[in-house]
Copies of this chain bind each other. A is one copy, B any other.
């Protein structure tokens, strides 16, 4: 669009356009929004991007993203360090914490085993988990990877590594989502819900 748009503006639009889920129109809208920000707001936004890169790292214990060496959850004395909930991504930790019912700790894999995408067990944080469990004091590992083929494979793979270490490995229950209509549940979910039925 050379010639009829300021290059600096075109570059900012391009930067937004590269973000996932941001198309050309949205990128333009966001760029104009930035132009209308105060200088302080723009500086703050710009700095937040740099800081995220400079300061955020993986917790040395659970691999969750944190500003510190050890994340606040691993550091907390109120959390039960003998129960580890294994999730795929940091945002899953946020989802569990919103539930406000889990008092154990986490382990973030940063992905799933996915041969099709070239992701093997060594590319995700499995060895860190095995080390935590080998170090002792862990009684239960809850596999909370997504209910996808890859999440499932990863859960099974990890459970086979951990069971010989004498730890209990569990998996989140499958079933009908609360509030959902049976009619709209797919047959696999329905079959799993049937298998996992509980006595009332």
Please give the residue numbers on chain A whose beta carbons come within 8 Å of chain B beta carbons, in ascending order. Answer: 1, 3-9, 11-12, 14-15, 19-22, 26, 28-35, 37, 39, 42-53, 55-56, 65-67, 71-73, 89-91, 93-94, 97
Contact = CB atoms under 8 A, between A and B. Distances in A.
A11 B66 contact: no
- Stoichiometry, as copies per complex, reads 2
Contact of A30 (B20, B67, B91): B20
A29 B31 CA distance: 18
A35 B57 CA distance: 10
A19 B37 CA distance: 10
Contacts of A94: 1, 4-5, 28
A8 B48 CA distance: 7
A53 B46 CA distance: 11
A43 B48 contact: no
Given A1-B94, A6-B65, A51-B8, A44 B15 contact: yes
Contact of A26 (B5, B11, B14, B21): B21
Contact of A48 (B12, B48, B50, B51): B12
B15 A48 contact: yes
A23 B116 CA distance: 31
**In the complex, which of the residues A7, A53, A67, A71 has the most CB atoms of chain B within 10 Å of its own CB atom?**
A53
